[in-house]
Amino acid sequence: MAKGGDINDASGLSRTPIYGVVEVSEEDHIAKALAFARANGLKVSLAAIRHSMGGHAFDDNALVLDLKKFNKVAVDAAAKTMTLQPGARWHDIQNMLHPRFAVKAMQSTDIFSVGGSLSVNAHGMDHQAGSVAGSIRSMRVMLADGSVTTCSPTENTELFRHVVGGYGLFGVVLEATLDVVDNAVYRTSREIIKSDDFPKFFAEVLEPNKDIGLFYGHLSTAPGNFLKDMIVYRYDKVAEEPPADQPAIGEPGSVGLKRVIINLAKWGSLFQELKWFTEKTLEPKFETCTVARTTAMAQGEACLVTRNNPMHDSVPYLFNDLTDETDILHEYFIPRAAYNPFITAAREDPAQPVPASAQCLCAHRPQGGCGADLRAGAGLFAGALHQPAGRCRRQCQDAGADAGADRCDDQAWRAVLPALPAALYGQGVAGVLSRTAGLPGDETTL
Ligand SMILES: Cc1cc2nc3c(=O)[nH]c(=O)nc-3n(C[C@H](O)[C@H](O)[C@H](O)COP(=O)(O)OP(=O)(O)OC[C@H]3O[C@@H](n4cnc5c(N)ncnc54)[C@H](O)[C@@H]3O)c2cc1C
């Protein structure tokens, strides 16, 4: 155990003093750590990749269990399941499952741990699979007293219901058995629609068509078109299984270009318009079609990919190399029926803390924009805000607002979220983000 020191999350904005860190690679380490905590009256926190911002994964003076190396994975092809330790990351899991199988439910990016994903009941691009809860066959969980129990949708259901989405508050997930699905072949396409028409589009086009395996929506944040248009990306199934010669899954391309465009978009409306222009017109030209041309020809020369391709996105273009800035992702989970009022309110009242135009959340009226994504899945909508914290802090300080400066960091969303009409948002916020050099100021001392 590394004793003392601080810990931080991926934003680098949540430095927290802790009792110490236990690096877990075996179940016994967890049992011993819990016994030690009970004997010494310590709080225990569970941490994996630490992309949940604002201290979800660690408490003041807690004994932190670092689960990243507790990460074994075993696939049962006959049962179409995989049994994993919670530190396993989707990215590595996909590399193991490919080319035959794919993950059933996960986030729209692959950088997270299974434990961190089960604990927030994450969802992603497969609107039919829904959130990860629906892919769990069973879990083994260690409770605070050190006892180990199994729970599933049919066994110990109350514990199951609490642990999934329970942010590590009800027990340590030791192991989970999850469904895997076929690595189906999809035809990719995209369509620009009015964002106000999205609920109708979802109900009439996306939801009834069971061959649409994945989709997401991306709303315009260009000032001239703010939240008015959206690109809907869809993946229509054309075959249950991939061709035998399927290559390894590639990494996202054009990373430098995408990063430059995101950075430029922080600096004013001209660049925000450029960002929307490239998303609309240039992005399709860079699309990688991974399934062989012979198969594509049979599909009218469509661009074909396997399920693992769009789901294998480690978003390297979101990792910010600027030393004085942190990009924060804000996600708003909104009931489907509240989508239009939410978007309308955001569009008409820029003082709302909705993404995009909120360059500095310490300002009452957001200036310019930092770019935003709105991903839509299964009636839930997530907004992404890229917030240059360093610059915001300076702006607030220049305005003589020290308190405001604090609100420019990862606490900002907490300060402003209650201002949203409660009826317009649902479960709350899962925030996160990316910062250049990993986790600065981390569990240093001993
Ligand atoms: C770029 C980006 C995109 C995102 N996209 C999506 C998305 O599409 N859909 C979505 O739903 N979310 C999304 N998120 C949010 C993400 O799903 C959560 O932040 C997730 O918890 C991060 O996983 P992690 O491994 O970093 O977990 P951590 O931040 O390390 O931990 C998260 C929580 O899980 C608990 N925990 C960890 N391991 C265990 C365990 N073994 N047992 C019990 N509890 C445990 C921790 O205590 C903590 O409360 C996104 C985040 C980012 C940064």
Helix (H) or strand (E) holding 84: strand 81-84
Side-chain-side CA neighbours of 422 within 13 Å: the count stands at 0
Cα dihedral sign, 302-303-309-310: negative
Tell me which residue has its CA closest to atom 9 in ligand 1.
Answer: 107
Amino acid at 124: G
Cα of 115 from ligand 1 centre, angstroms:
8
Q: What is residue 42's predicted lDDT score, i.e. its pLDDT?
A: 97
Please, which residues bridge with residue 429 across strands? 332
pLDDT, tens digit (0-9, with 9 covering 90-100), for 133-178: 999 999 999 999 999 999 999 999 999 999 999 999 999 999 999 9
Q: How far apart are CA 167 and CA 116, in angstroms?
A: 8
- Least confident stretch, 73-87, 128-142, 272-286: 272-286
Q: Which atom of ligand 1 is nearest to the CA of 163?
A: 43
Cα of 112 from ligand 1 centre, angstroms:
6
Q: Which atom of ligand 1 is nearest to the CA of 119?
A: 34
Average pLDDT over residues 217-227: 92
Average pLDDT over residues 168-197: 97
Q: How far apart are CA 315 and CA 273, in angstroms?
A: 22
- Least confident stretch, 110-119, 124-133, 135-144, 428-437: 428-437
For 203, other C-beta atoms within 10 Å of its C-beta total: 12
Q: What is residue 90's predicted lDDT score, i.e. its pLDDT?
A: 98
Alpha helices in 149-292 (DSSP H): 157-163, 198-201, 255-265, 269-277
8 A C-beta contact, residue 424 and residue 342: yes
Helix (H) or strand (E) holding 190: strand 185-194
Average pLDDT over residues 263-288: 87
Identify whether 223 is preceded by a cis peptide bond (ω within 30 of 0): no
Q: Which atom of ligand 1 is nearest to the CA of 131?
A: 11
Cα of 47 from ligand 1 centre, angstroms:
9
Cα of 400 from ligand 1 centre, angstroms:
35
Cα of 51 from ligand 1 centre, angstroms:
6
Q: Which atom of ligand 1 is nearest to the CA of 112?
A: 25
CA proximity to 338, closest of 228, 199, 215, 200: 199
Please report, for residues 68, 103, 157, the alpha-carbon distance to residue 269 in angstroms, rounded to integers and kept in the order given: 40, 39, 51
Cα of 52 from ligand 1 centre, angstroms:
5
- Least confident stretch, 9-23, 78-92, 322-336, 420-434: 420-434
Choose which residue among 112, 167, 170, 373 to substitute to test ligand 1 binding: the one with the highest number of ligand atoms within 8 A of its C-beta.
Answer: 112
Alpha helices in 234-336 (DSSP H): 255-265, 269-277, 293-298, 308-311
Q: Which atom of ligand 1 is nearest to the CA of 58?
A: 47
CA end-to-end span of the chain? 9
Residue 76 has pLDDT above 60, yes or no: yes
Residue 225 has pLDDT above 60, yes or no: yes
For 267, other C-beta atoms within 10 Å of its C-beta total: 15
Q: How far apart are CA 37 and CA 44, in angstroms?
A: 7
pLDDT, tens digit (0-9, with 9 covering 90-100), for 12-71: 889 999 999 999 999 999 999 999 999 999 999 999 999 998 888 999 999 999 999 999
Residue 363, φ and ψ in degrees, nearest 5: -85, 145
CA proximity to 178, closest of 134, 140, 214, 142: 134
CA proximity to 176, closest of 59, 48, 34, 62: 48
Cα of 34 from ligand 1 centre, angstroms:
22
Q: How far apart are CA 173 and CA 250, in angstroms?
A: 30
Domain spans in the chain, listed from the N-terminal domain onward: 2-66, 73-182, 185-306+331-430
Higher pLDDT: 288 or 7? It is 7
What is the DSSP secondary structure assignment for residue 224, as one 8-state letter? G
Confidence band of 233 (pLDDT split at 50, 70, 90): very high
Higher pLDDT: 368 or 330? It is 330
Q: What is residue 253's predicted lDDT score, i.e. its pLDDT?
A: 83
Confidence band of 365 (pLDDT split at 50, 70, 90): very low
Q: Which atom of ligand 1 is nearest to the CA of 108?
A: 8
Cα of 80 from ligand 1 centre, angstroms:
24
Q: What is residue 263's predicted lDDT score, i.e. its pLDDT?
A: 87
Ligand 1 site: residues with CB under 6 angstroms?
45-52, 56-57, 67, 86, 107-109, 112-113, 115-117, 119-120, 122-124, 167-168, 172-173, 315, 318, 329, 375, 430, 432-433
Residue 438 has pLDDT above 90, yes or no: no
- The CA angle 302-305-307, to the nearest 5 degrees, is 140
Residue 4 has pLDDT above 50, yes or no: yes
Choose which residue among 143, 160, 432 to substitute to test ligand 1 binding: the one with the highest number of ligand atoms within 8 A of its C-beta.
Answer: 432
- The CA angle 363-381-302, to the nearest 5 degrees, is 120
Tell me which residue has its CA closest to atom 19 in ligand 1.
Answer: 52
Q: What is residue 284's predicted lDDT score, i.e. its pLDDT?
A: 80
Cα of 396 from ligand 1 centre, angstroms:
30
Q: Thinking of the domain 2-66, which architecture would CATH place it in?
A: 2-Layer Sandwich (3.30)
CA proximity to 375, closest of 127, 181, 189: 127
Residue 386 has pLDDT above 60, yes or no: no
Torsion of CA 228, 194, 356, 266, to 10 degrees: -80
8 A C-beta contact, residue 290 and residue 246: yes
Residue 305 has pLDDT above 90, yes or no: yes
Tell me which residue has its CA closest to atom 7 in ligand 1.
Answer: 107
β strands within 128-182, DSSP E: 136-142, 148-151, 172-182
Confidence band of 324 (pLDDT split at 50, 70, 90): confident
Token pair for 69: 């190396």
As a whole number, the mean pLDDT across the chain is 80
Cα of 105 from ligand 1 centre, angstroms:
14
Q: How far apart are CA 387 and CA 369, in angstroms?
A: 9
- Pairing mode, if any, of strands 20-23 and 73-76? unpaired
Tell me which residue has its CA closest to atom 50 in ligand 1.
Answer: 432
**Looking at the domain 73-182, which fold is it?**
3.30.465
Q: What is residue 363's predicted lDDT score, i.e. its pLDDT?
A: 27
Cα dihedral sign, 407-411-412-415: negative
Q: Which atom of ligand 1 is nearest to the CA of 430?
A: 15
Choose which residue among 113, 127, 141 to substitute to test ligand 1 binding: the one with the highest number of ligand atoms within 8 A of its C-beta.
Answer: 113
Q: What is residue 377's predicted lDDT score, i.e. its pLDDT?
A: 27
Cα of 246 from ligand 1 centre, angstroms:
30
Tell me which residue has its CA closest to atom 18 in ligand 1.
Answer: 52
Cα of 412 from ligand 1 centre, angstroms:
19
Q: How far apart are CA 170 and CA 168, in angstroms?
A: 6
Q: How far apart are CA 46 and CA 160, in angstroms?
A: 17
> Is-same-fold flag (2-66; 73-182)?
no
Amino acid at 315: V
Q: What is residue 351's predicted lDDT score, i.e. its pLDDT?
A: 55
Alpha helices in 202-322 (DSSP H): 255-265, 269-277, 293-298, 308-311
